[in-house]
Amino acid sequence: MARTGFMRAVLFAVGFVAGLATPAQAEDATASGLKITAPWARATPKGASVGGGYMKITNTGSAAERLIGGVSDIASRFEIHEMSMDNGVMKMRSLSGGIEIKPGQTVEFSPSGYHVMLVGLNRQLMQGDHFKATLEFARAGKVEVDFIVESIGANSSGAKSPGDREMPGMQMKH
């Protein structure tokens, strides 16, 4: 019993120190009728021209909202994409009309679903970095967010061990 408690204390201390050593933490952002939770991006391989950004967007207001686009200094284009299965192959398409978020709804962006596609990266995204972006909503207008860069195989912000591999059939079409 005492030993378990001791190990817990050690693990807690290790986790605490690891947390302090992390240069940047995912930060939430709020705006009129919106909450944006833990924006993060995947690290990119050297020379990659595109990167993916993820977050959760909750509509805390009483009217439907729509994410219609955004901008970031790190890429020439900031697009909203969706991954979907097409004949057993993961494909992505650009959602030119953006994404609607109904009142009370949370839309989750993830490596296997909706995502922000940073097209024309002007630098490599390195784990631990972060970068600013401006999201644009139909009602709330511009909302500043800060994306933290997680590992290249991360599935969520703060993931300690990369749990997945790239889908072998994934096709990146831009």
Residues making contact with Cu ion (CB under 5 A)? 81, 92, 117
Residue type, 83: M
> From the CB of 109, what's the least distance to Cu ion, in Å?
11
> From the CB of 67, what's the least distance to Cu ion, in Å?
15
| Number of neighbours of residue 19 by Cβ within 10 angstroms | 10
Task: CB nearer to Cu ion: give 5 or 97.
Answer: 97
Task: CB nearer to Cu ion: give 65 or 79.
Answer: 79
**Which residues have CB under 8 Å from 23's CB, separation 6+?**
128
> From the CB of 41, what's the least distance to Cu ion, in Å?
12
> From the CB of 132, what's the least distance to Cu ion, in Å?
20
SS3 142: strand
Q: How many Å apart are CA 30 and CA 58, to the nearest integer? A: 9
Asked if 147 contacts 53 with a C-beta cutoff of 8 angstroms, the reply is: yes
Asked if 67 contacts 58 with a C-beta cutoff of 8 angstroms, the reply is: no
The structure tokens 């057993």 sit at 88
> From the CB of 81, what's the least distance to Cu ion, in Å?
3
Task: CB nearer to Cu ion: give 75 or 117.
Answer: 117
Residue type, 43: A
Task: CB nearer to Cu ion: give 8 or 174.
Answer: 174
Closest residue to Cu ion, judged by C-beta, is 81
| Number of neighbours of residue 55 by Cβ within 10 angstroms | 26
Task: CB nearer to Cu ion: give 67 or 140.
Answer: 67
